[in-house]
A and B are shown apart, each in its own frame.
Chain A
Amino acid sequence: MAQSLNRLKESAAQTAGPYVHIGCTPNFLGMTGVFPEDLGHSMVNDKTKGERITITGHVFDGTATPLKDALLEIWQADAGGLYNSPSELRGSADPNFTGWGRQPTDLGTGVFSFETIKPGRVPFGDGRLQAAHISFYIVARGINLGLNTRMYFGDEEEANGKDPILGRVEHKVRVPTLIAPRQGNTYTFEIHLQGDRETIFFDI
């Protein structure tokens, strides 16, 4: 016998379901007048520092069909590598950049798109720099517990090669699933839930 740790259990997740837009992006659904705008709809304004980029893609199921009812959230550092968060103690992030975005996949095509800036690099626990990356949280009907992944940048080959997280991936053949190629100012991040090209999902 010993003392109790007096810990609670995290509440178990349940799927966001097909109607997640009602709660998270009601204006996208045409339900206007309740909230002035959908949270996370815009991440930047005209004073935001950094290189403007677009991130776009699909979320494919195991039959290669794009999900048309998924919701994606992204979280990233500002151009100087600081997060706009009270838990960020290394300095003050760009006040004109929220760092957090939320977009549904299009109800007809399944395309998602974020207008943001390219983030700066942030440290790993041991002080090494991580390659620039964006954290993703993905929910949808049929996904019981939200999925966590990361997007890395196709034009950051050298940094990606030394990234401490990518370095943990045993099957190197899977690393490209996290790396979005660049064309102009657009990065395309195709997310595959299953199959040969299944995206790496993380237990964070």
Chain B
Amino acid sequence: MSNQDPETGSFFPRDRSWHPKAFTPDYKTSVVRSPQKALISFPNTISEITGPVFGHNILGELDHDLIRNFASPGESAIGERIIVHGRVLDERGRGVPGALIEVWQANAGGRYRHKNEGYVAPLDPNFGGCGRTITNQDGAYEFRTVKPGPYPWPNGVNDWRPAHIHFSLFGAGFAQRLITQMYFEGDPLIPLCPIVNAISDERAIEQLVAPLDMANTVPMDARAYKFDIVLRGRRSSLFENKLEGN
């Protein structure tokens, strides 16, 4: 099956022991927001294997440049300039082309531009904190931004989120929908974070930590971090039950 063939198979079952469980009491908000009854499983139908697809025509020129997309003309966001790049892959290791990626993050001081945010660190008038892009034919993508600061949050008396960027991803099917976070190599707050530690498998945590990528760093301008993201893969058997009308 080449990348050009329409993607129509069922998805591999989700490995729910790899994902964080719903009820993770050290992350206190999960206590009353976690379903308690067993999920009901069923095989993918056309409702799960299809999904919305977004064209490059929705993208503005600066959508993937958070340093400039909220800044006044001629100005730019304050902070450590970085490039975040990588590929969106499926579980079979193939690039996912045309995947919409949306990101959001705090500014360099750890402050979000949001009505419900009250952290004392100041807003940066030239930083909004949102961006989006769509992967190319190889599944590759790239953003430019400033490195977000860690921030304190009301959970324990003194809990701090490690620096992170939120990622939202669309593959080709609605069952691939994924929201996750990217962390930065070497951040000592990662192992202390109750949200990170909602994930029980150390390897699953490592998969969310982006390494510094000196080879792709732009000299005298911006350091690069590489972050690959894996979405669910599709079964490829020709012997799968055919849907009516196929």
Asked if B178 contacts A11 (CB within 8 A), the reply is yes
Asked if A123 meets B245 with Cβ closer than 8 Å, knowing A19-B104, A86-B172, A87-B50, the reply is yes
Name the residue among A33, A85, A193 with the largest chain B CB count within 10 angstroms. A85
Asked if A202 contacts B114 (CB within 8 A), the reply is no
Chain A residues near B63 (CB, 8 Å)? 34-35
Q: Which of A46-54, A141-149, A180-188 lies at the binding interface? A: A141-149
CB distance from A34 to the nearest CB of B (A): 5
Asked if A83 meets B50 with Cβ closer than 8 Å, knowing A18-B116, A35-B132, A125-B243, the reply is yes
Give A125 to B208 CA distance when docked, in angstroms.
Answer: 35
The reply to whether the CB of A79 lies closer than 8 angstroms to some CB of chain B is no
Chain B residues near A144 (CB, 8 Å)? 19-22, 24, 27, 30, 34, 195, 198
The reply to whether the CB of A161 lies closer than 8 angstroms to some CB of chain B is no
* Chain A, 150-204, CB within 8 A of any chain B CB: 150, 164-165, 168-169, 174, 193-194, 198-204
Asked if A143 contacts B22 (CB within 8 A), the reply is yes
Instruction: Determine chain A's interface SS by DSSP, over half rule.
Output: loop
Q: Which of A21, A33, A145 contacts B70 (CB 8 A)?
A: A33
Give A86 to B174 CA distance when docked, in angstroms.
Answer: 12
The reply to whether the CB of B237 lies closer than 8 angstroms to some CB of chain A is no
Give A62 to B91 CA distance when docked, in angstroms.
Answer: 35
CB distance from B209 to the nearest CB of A (A): 11
> Interface size on B (CB < 8 Å)?
95
Asked if A146 meets B179 with Cβ closer than 8 Å, knowing A18-B114, A87-B173, the reply is yes
* Chain A, 54-109, CB within 8 A of any chain B CB: 61-63, 65, 67, 69, 73, 75, 77, 83-91, 98-100, 107
* Chain B, 116-154, CB within 8 A of any chain A CB: 116-117, 128-132
Chain B residues near A1 (CB, 8 Å)? none
Chain B residues near A146 (CB, 8 Å)? 177-179
Name the residue among B45, B90, B198, B231 with the largest chain A CB count within 10 angstroms. B45
Asked if B42 contacts A168 (CB within 8 A), the reply is yes
The reply to whether the CB of A44 lies closer than 8 angstroms to some CB of chain B is no
Instruction: Determine chain B's interface SS by DSSP, over half rule.
Output: loop
Per-residue interface assignment for chain A, residues 19 to 38, with 1 indicating a CB less than 8 Å from any chain B CB and 0 otherwise:
11111101001110111100
Asked if B14 contacts A203 (CB within 8 A), the reply is yes
CB distance from A199 to the nearest CB of B (A): 8
Asked if A127 contacts B244 (CB within 8 A), the reply is yes
Asked if A22 meets B50 with Cβ closer than 8 Å, knowing A67-B33, A193-B32, A204-B42, the reply is no
Asked if A87 contacts B8 (CB within 8 A), the reply is yes
Asked if A26 contacts B130 (CB within 8 A), the reply is yes
Asked if A122 contacts B230 (CB within 8 A), the reply is no
Asked if A10 contacts B45 (CB within 8 A), the reply is no
Give A14 to B204 CA distance when docked, in angstroms.
Answer: 11
Closest B residue to A167 by beta carbon equals: B42
Chain B residues near A193 (CB, 8 Å)? 32-35
CB distance from B8 to the nearest CB of A (A): 5
Q: What are 22 A-B contacts defined by CB distance under 8 Å?
A: A7-B92, A9-B204, A12-B205, A12-B208, A18-B114, A22-B114, A23-B102, A23-B131, A26-B130, A34-B60, A34-B63, A35-B63, A62-B33, A90-B246, A135-B174, A137-B177, A142-B30, A143-B34, A165-B42, A193-B32, A194-B32, A194-B33
Nearest first, the 6 closest Cβ-Cβ pairs linking A and B are A23-B104, A142-B29, A142-B33, A100-B52, A85-B50, A62-B32
Known: A31-B128, A83-B47. 7 other contacts (CB 8 A): A9-B18, A12-B207, A19-B166, A67-B33, A144-B19, A201-B39, A204-B42
